Amino acid sequence: MNERGAERAITIVLAAGLLVTATIVTNGIDHFRLPKELAFRAEAIALLALGAFWLTSKQRTWKFERRPEFLLAAAIVCWTLVTVATSTNRLLSVDSLITVIAAVVIFIATCLAAQTVRFEAIDVLMIGACINALLVILQELKIWTPFNPAPDVNTHVGSVGLLGNPNDVGTYLAPAALAAIVMTVTAEGKRRGIYAAIAALLVAGVAASATRTAIGALVIALAVFAVFHSRRVALAVAAIVLAIGLLVLAPSTSLGRGARQLTKAAASHDYQRLFSERVLPFLTAFEMARAHPLAGVGPGCFKYHYMAYRVAMIGKYPAEWTKGYPMNWGEVHNDHLQVAAESGLPGYVLFLAAIGLCAFPGKTDRRGRLSPHRNRATFARGLRLPLAVLVLVISIGQFPLELAAARLMLLTLGALCLTWDREGVDA
């Protein structure tokens, strides 16, 4: 395989990974999350194999240089190795280590491919997002679902897209919707009109998922985007917020019903209902982080220790805080707390460093031309800070790091932003 063939094959694998991870569903015990996780890891394995061909090529189009994001990725892998070695359950932690390594491989490959790919990379990413948005809207409206009838199909719980859970849908679609809106503002010609329609579809998909954290994160990210752009952008963002507000006020929508339920829960001090039964996992993760501040309990070990910590909290906190579903939570539903609980404060600092690295634009290559509209760097610079804000907020009530489709969405957008912004090369 020649060097150009290797680079072309890597680009194809990255594109295929975006499509497969967003849409694959099986008939196994876990219809949604497990096959997507396996597809995520399979993509990383394929990239490693192709990377060997690329590294041994005498001539390469892509340049592998020392970059802050690569050093941070190496630090994350090294700290994960440390936390696996000190883990309270190494078998579980090794499985999480595989996911971390796979994520780093995909991130680095995307950064390299971004040196030569154009806006078509965003187009490919949007295909899976649009499919899920359209499907969740059809499911929410009770028009059509591809899955066999089940007791929850006729309720909001049945609005799962191809991701398995309404919250998973919102978590996956929110960053895609943000990227589509930024593309609408920064692009020109036909692309602007096309992405305006895509953005409308994706925002509708997020609203149909009724994922409160995703909607809040998207609104806040859009507000940040508007602050640093024109009055025209601010008016467009205000229109989006108004449309979402109307859905919240409508009693016939899932958002409207949810808003009214939250109001009643707040009035009656029903904290479990107010926080969707997540007070217990939040407190449990906090207790784990406090008991193991340096290295945490180990990657993937929250679910292993949850019940013991939950029982130990009885009497330590007010009774209304520690009652809830008698179940063993697999995720905290808060990546801030989960990262701190499983990998300690150093791991949490690395998590925040990754978000911060994406947030602030670096120095632009002066050899590149920064066209105000038709430029990859313009899109990247417009998206970086809002995307970082969205991740920071959405991780408070959801867990994108634990979901293969959402994780791949964020890795791809982050890699494209960091590379395109640095190079400043016209697309």
Which residues in the chain show pLDDT less than 50? 364-373, 425-427
pLDDT for the residue numbered 425: 44
Q: Would you give the DSSP letter of residue 427?
A: -
What distance in Å separates the CA atoms of residue 20 and residue 26, rounded to the nearest whole number? Answer: 12
Nearest to 338 by CA among 328, 356, 351: 351
Q: What angle do CA 25, 393, 226 make, to 5 degrees?
A: 105
What distance in Å separates the CA atoms of residue 82 and residue 165, rounded to the nearest whole number? Answer: 33
pLDDT for the residue numbered 323: 77
What distance in Å separates the CA atoms of residue 289 and residue 83, rounded to the nearest whole number? Answer: 13
Tell me phi and psi for residue 30, to 5 degrees. Answer: -105, 105
Element (H, E) at 384: helix 376-397
312-315 long-range contacts (CB < 8 A, ≥24 apart) are: 312/287, 313/280, 313/283, 313/284, 313/287
Q: Where are the alpha helices (DSSP H) in 66-119?
A: 68-85, 90-113
Q: Which amino acid is residue 57, in one-letter code? A: S
pLDDT for the residue numbered 149: 54
pLDDT for the residue numbered 412: 98
pLDDT for the residue numbered 187: 87
Q: Please, which residues bridge with residue 375 across strands?
A: 426
pLDDT for the residue numbered 424: 57
pLDDT for the residue numbered 360: 81
pLDDT for the residue numbered 373: 34
Distances (CA, A) of 39 to 26, 44, 194, 248, 403: 12, 9, 29, 36, 12
